[in-house]
Amino acid sequence: MNVKEVKIVFQPSGKNVVVPVGTTILNAAKKCGFKINIPCGGNGTCGKCRMRISSGSTEITQSDKTFFNGSELARGWRLACKAVVNGDIVVDVPQSSLVDSHHQIVTSIGRRQKVELCPPVKKMYVQLPEAGLEDSRSDLTRVKDALGTGNIPMSLLRELPHKLRDGQFGATFTVLGDKITVIDSGDTSGKFYGAAFDIGTTTVAGKLLCLRTGKELAVVSRMNPQVSFGDDVVSRINYACRSEADLAAISGAITAAIDEMCGQLCTQAAVDAADVACITVAGNTTMLELFCRIDPKPLGEMPFISAFADGQWVCSRALGLDVCKNAQVFIFPVIGSFVGGDTTACIIASDILKDHRKMLMIDIGTNGEIVLRNQGRLTASSTAAGPALEGARISCGMRATTGAIEKIDFDDDVRISVIGGGEPVGICGSAIIDIAACLLNAGIVTSTGQMLTAAELGGSVAPAIAARLTVDEQGSPEFIIAQAQEKKISITQRDIRELQLASGAIRAGINILLKHGGIAIDELDEILIAGGFGFYIRQENAQRIGLLPHVSDQGKITYIGNAALAGAELALLSEAKLQQAREAAVQTKHTELSLDMDFQMEFATAMLFPEN
């Protein structure tokens, strides 16, 4: 039998194959080694394997009619899986019809989970056929036929003719959805980076990742500069609402900080900031609105309304970011006025949207966010803990960086351990919990939080420890932790009160959420503790001061670190995780604690330290 054979040339690669008449374009493409995107298995129902026949033709199938309009059909668009070849043809294969060859499996950002590396922002190199008298398509048409999209802002359209010709019609396109966001001459697809940020009320943390490999390249963190405008969200909202100029000032402070941190990350990793294609930003609702320079007034007064809930894509320049000038920025979706994008980020990092067990997640920060998963639903609340657990508003408090006392034990005297090992400079959150637990255990602080004087103490306290009790200038009790060269590091009665407020607020939130859910702490399958310092606090001490509840099975408690930042990283690497954050924002019910009658009572009770 003599079967007629035909030649199929695939553009822009130029790969070609000779196949018998009657072969589908899909099968011919497979023979050439193309990995075509066919979620429907090649049944003509998903419309993903779009290709354009630029020379020759195939018959228009029923599937083609479903997925293409008249002018597209006229221009040669077909579904490869259904198009049967009867003569020599040339086929343009858009990048969007190929399975992304970068796909890999990464794990262990946030809670250990498998994530496919498929960033929401893509970077694709294409070698376009050069223009000639026989192929005088416009520059943008040429791009659209290869890439599957020609959606481009005017600023880039102005660059397009030069960029294409500078690279002999080889160019790299950065694409978000169907929107082209950057054009480079030649192949720059190897330079593809992303930055993830968590803007906390007190601490801002950021990471630089390689979006080709998923690898972490650099980390930075610093105090949120807005602390100088007020150390909790309410005081910042009040500041921002005073005038347009005040809003610009408080917003400009965080914008400048993020911009600087972007620069630091790129310098650390020796990466050109122009190659950062995407930035994801988690943070509570107020932090995100201030970062976006949105007047937060409606957020600060009844009925507490946020400007947006769904995640927002913004180009970096629209946010006043100059360093990563080519980046598309994703602002995390928020659940409610006080349960924000940090919580949705924590939810995707902890994977509790997909985990069907009974779970509680606590994100400890200046706001404590608590999420309960029960009976298949997520409920979330936030409580204003204040910055004590991040070392702020504490007389000798500091962030958990070099010089911070991070761990305190009592034996016959006080034993401390300092980050970096040198002279202590102050105490960070984990050590504040430690010292409070130690003072409680020693009987120096009572369950009401009162710090006793040396005179009031019994003889049970080791002399070296008792000797550290003194009074400050105002005559209030003070406990000297360490005497550094420059100054003494102590904890005061006032510091203990701040800690009581912070711990009490979070604990009351936990209690109310469990109560609303009708579930007891021991019925939970797992308790996840998140927070910038969550890896370091000692569970028994956190339980001693009442911050965390006692559970019969301590193994149920898992520390997941800075889950908000981890969530921001995941959204950078995985379109599916970013989408999950959007779903989490819609599916999580927000319980407003400030409107809850029981909360004040719970709060008052939880402020007391538990009896031992």
CB of 371 to a second copy, least distance (A): 17
Any contact of residue 597 with a second copy (CB under 8 A)? no
Look up tokens 């102050």; give the residue.
426
CB 386 within 8 A of CB 393: yes
d(CA 63, CA 227): 59
Contact pick of 133, 245, 455, 597 for a second copy (by CB under 8 A): 133
- Neighbour-count burial for 259-276, b at 16+ CB within 10 Å, e otherwise: bebbebbbeebebebbbb
Contact pick of 297, 494, 497, 516 for a second copy (by CB under 8 A): 297
Residue among 199, 195, 215, 198 nearest 207 (CA)? 195
CB 101 within 8 A of CB 35: yes
Closer residue to a second copy (CB): 150 or 186: 150
d(CA 347, CA 461): 45
Please identify, among the stretches 198-206, 288-296, 367-375, 473-481, the one whose residues bind a second copy according to the rule CB under 8 A.
288-296
Q: How many helices (H) and strands (E) does the chain have?
A: 17, 28
Q: What is the 3-state secondary structure (H, E, C) of 61-121?
A: CHHHHHHCCHHHHHCCEEECCCCECCCCEEEECCHHHECCCCCCEECCCCCCCCEECECCE
* Paired strand residues for 404: 426
Contact pick of 62, 71, 101, 485 for a second copy (by CB under 8 A): 71
Encoding tokens for residue 49? 């394997």
Contact pick of 199, 294, 359, 512 for a second copy (by CB under 8 A): 294
Closer residue to a second copy (CB): 165 or 358: 165
Describe the chain by its helix, strand, coil percentages, rounded to 5.
Answer: 35, 25, 40
d(CA 331, CA 73): 38
Any contact of residue 75 with a second copy (CB under 8 A)? yes
Contact pick of 2, 62, 101, 155 for a second copy (by CB under 8 A): 155
Q: In 221-319, which ranges are continuous DSSP H helix?
A: 233-241, 244-269, 285-291, 297-300
CB of 491 to a second copy, least distance (A): 40
Closer residue to a second copy (CB): 160 or 398: 160
Any contact of residue 140 with a second copy (CB under 8 A)? yes
Any contact of residue 60 with a second copy (CB under 8 A)? no
Closer residue to a second copy (CB): 12 or 534: 12
Site for a second copy in 373-432 (CB under 8 A): none
Please identify, among the stretches 45-53, 436-444, 579-587, 599-607, the one whose residues bind a second copy according to the rule CB under 8 A.
579-587
CB of 289 to a second copy, least distance (A): 9
Please identify, among the stretches 104-112, 295-303, 359-367, 517-525, the one whose residues bind a second copy according to the rule CB under 8 A.
295-303
Any contact of residue 3 with a second copy (CB under 8 A)? no
Closer residue to a second copy (CB): 311 or 403: 311
Site for a second copy in 321-350 (CB under 8 A): 334, 336-337
Please identify, among the stretches 210-218, 290-298, 452-460, 509-517, the one whose residues bind a second copy according to the rule CB under 8 A.
290-298
Closer residue to a second copy (CB): 314 or 521: 314
Any contact of residue 310 with a second copy (CB under 8 A)? yes
Any contact of residue 312 with a second copy (CB under 8 A)? yes
Please identify, among the stretches 22-30, 148-156, 354-362, 455-463, the one whose residues bind a second copy according to the rule CB under 8 A.
148-156
Number of residues that bind a second copy (CB under 8 A): 53
Quickly count: other Cβ atoms within 10 Å of residue 285's Cβ. Answer: 28
Site string for a second copy, 471-510 (x = CB under 8 A): ----------------------------------------
CB of 183 to a second copy, least distance (A): 12
Please identify, among the stretches 33-41, 155-163, 448-456, 464-472, the one whose residues bind a second copy according to the rule CB under 8 A.
155-163
Give the DSSP letter string of 142-185: HHHHHHS--B--HHHHHHHHHHHHHTTTEEEEEEETTEEEEEEE
d(CA 393, CA 434): 17
Closer residue to a second copy (CB): 153 or 422: 153
Please identify, among the stretches 120-128, 287-295, 437-445, 458-466, the one whose residues bind a second copy according to the rule CB under 8 A.
287-295
| Residue 109: CA count within 13 A, CB half-sphere | 27
d(CA 561, CA 550): 20
* Paired strand residues for 115: 106
d(CA 451, CA 418): 25
CB of 132 to a second copy, least distance (A): 5
Q: How far apart are the first and last CA of the chain?
A: 93
Longest CA–CA separation in the chain, Å = 110
Can you give the binding site for a second copy, defined by CB under 8 A?
Answer: 70-71, 74-75, 131-133, 136-141, 144, 150, 153-155, 157-158, 160-162, 165, 292-295, 297-298, 302-310, 312, 314, 318-319, 334, 336-337, 582-583, 586-587, 590, 592, 595
